[in-house]
Amino acid sequence: MRLVTLIRRFAFMAVAFAVCTTVDAQNIIYAGPDGTPTEGERCSTPEISPAQQAAVDAYLENFLAENPDAVNRQDTYLIPIAYHIITNTTGAGDVSDSDIEEQTAVLNGAFASMNIQFETASIDRTANNSWYTAGPGSGAESAMKNALAIDPASTLNFYTNNPGGGLLGWATFPDGCESCTYHGVVCLFSSLPNGTAAPYNEGDTGTHEVGHFVGLFHTFQGGCGPPGDSVPDTEPEANPRFGCPVGAVSCATPDPIENFMDYTDDDCMIEFTPGQGDRAHVQMAAFRPTMWVKVPVELVSFNATLNEDLVSFEWVTSSETNNSGFEIQMLADGQAEYSVLDFVAGHGTTTEVQHYTYTAGGLPSGTHMFRLKQVDYDGVFEYSNELEVTVGVPGTHVLESVYPNPFNPEATFRFGVNAQQNVRAELVDALGRVVSTLFEGSVSADAMQTVRIDGSGLPSGVYMIRLVGETFADAQSITLLK
Ligand SMILES: [Zn+2]
């Protein structure tokens, strides 16, 4: 529900403030934590000066020239979030785990077009009256972040508290100090999804502040003139907009009312532009490289089921990046190397769960190994776990040819059965006498047996191998030639 009528605006102009390029004093009014209308700032992320902006832009331009792959929109990057929920000592300010998960989901929806995704890595809760009301730049903020920050180089630290003054949140821009504990975002606890800070209670304060965290300026940065917000495809905007005045014009073209980096209501903010995505990629690659990790192809399962000589494979991925597909590889019984059975195309880049199936038919009997070779578009590959599958023996049993034949003094042969039973293999001479027992024991149906014949103490001649199970008997002749 939008409570537009609660919004009151103070239209100070940016030029009225010597140190700011944009309007800082435009206040919003929303339902405060105690339910009464509260007046404050939409965002208190520090403004940067035109000189600082120019220096950052020059650095990024240089970085991109040296790292042309830095804007890589084929890959998706995954940023872990450590949530730190600050309450006061009476418990005010708590946020449920499910609302935190909704906040992560809101971020994933908003940043999907940028190929940036998030996961809730940890949640901790701290009762501290000083930190509960910590505002931007305060000693309490530093103390809170120094105490609670988790691995700032690889993790987005997301704090919630009640900073007072009606402030909804603030963030830190990428600056190259990867492990500095001051990095992160702070949001009014009741701005998270299902909070009470209507019309700012759908989680887009988080989206907006994380937008700063990945390097985006306000859409009204710099007003109407270049370089604006240093993004070529966001329309210039003289001042922040509030409510949802779609179509309003403050420069030459309609203002980017629905952009997450404006100041409009949560249900009005619906988009980042492609240019903002590109800028976030460059900023993160340049200034937060440790955190800038691609979503890998996460193979969560790989299984096989056997139906006579058909082997059906199923595998599931939880996410994929740049995934060309999967080679199904087989190490056939008795072979030394894997060979490729077939190729199944992947889904490129996705954070959705994907299911795959493949059926191989006409496989020879024997115990084979199978694996997947996952191949990226750029040729990088990775192997799955290996599966062992024994393709059944047709009929009751199989007795393979002895090799070599004739032999001197050794030869081998293999046999298998289709049901577990006791089997005996004997070497019988031309007169029908058993000259040696080659094998005796219980044989299961899932493996071929290899049997060695040693003829070193026997004279040349024709012999029989006699194979006797509980459900069959078989034989083949073999010649010892010394
Ligand atoms: Zn902001």
- Give the pLDDT score at 375: 82
- Looking at residue 101, its pLDDT comes to 94
Q: Answer with the residue of higher pLDDT: 96 or 46.
A: 96
Higher pLDDT, 220 or 29: 220
Please indicate, yes or no, whether residues 385 and 475 belong to a single structural domain of this protein: no
Range of the domain at 333: 298-391
209 catalytic per annotation: yes
Q: Is the pLDDT of residue 433 over 50?
A: yes
Q: Are residues 435 and 416 in the same domain?
A: yes
Give distance in angstroms: CA of 44 to centre of ligand 1: 6
CATH number at residue 366: 2.60.40.10
- How many folded domains does the chain comprise? 3
Location of structure tokens 């994933």:
108
Centre a 10 Å sphere on the Cβ of residue 378 and count the other Cβ atoms it contains: 11
Q: For residues 270 and 415, state if they share a domain.
A: no
Give the distance (Å) from ligand 1 centre to CA of residue 140. 21
Confidence of residue 40 (pLDDT cuts 50, 70, 90): confident
Containing 274, the helix (H) or strand (E) segment is helix 274-287
The answer to whether residues 353 and 219 belong to one domain is: no
CATH number at residue 24: 3.40.390.10
Residue 81 belongs to some domain of the structure: yes
Indicate whether 190 and 335 sit together in one domain.
no
- 45 Cα–ligand 1 center, Å: 5
Same-domain status, 22 and 70 = yes
Within 10 angstroms of residue 235's Cβ, the number of other Cβ atoms is: 19
Average pLDDT for residues 93-107, to the nearest whole number?
Answer: 96
pLDDT in tens, 131-164: 999 999 999 999 999 999 999 999 999 999 999 9
Contacts of 49 (CB under 8 A, 6+ apart): 19, 21
The pTM of the whole model exceeds 0.85: no
Residue 32 has pLDDT above 80, yes or no: no
Q: What are phi and psi of 356, to 5 degrees?
A: -130, 145
pLDDT of 12 > 50? The answer is: no
* CATH number of the CATH domain containing 407: 2.60.40.1930
**Does a structural domain hold residue 292?**
no
Structure confidence at residue 9 as a pLDDT band (50, 70, 90)? very low
Distance from CA of residue 61 to its chain's centroid? Answer: 29
Look at residue 46 and tell me whether its pLDDT is greater than 90. no
Residue 293: inside a domain: no
DSSP for residue 162: -
Residues pairing with 320 in the sheet: 350
Please tell me whether residues 45 and 173 are part of one structural domain: yes
Q: Which of 141, 209, 235, 237 is catalytic?
A: 209
Of the residues 263, 287, 311, the one at which a domain ends? 287
Which residues sit opposite 86 in a β-bridge? 126
pLDDT (tens digit, 9 = 90+) per residue, 455-479?
Answer: 999 999 999 999 999 888 888 889 9
**Residues 37, 125 share a domain:** yes
Query: With bands split at pLDDT 50, 70 and 90, how would you rate the model's confidence at 431?
Result: confident
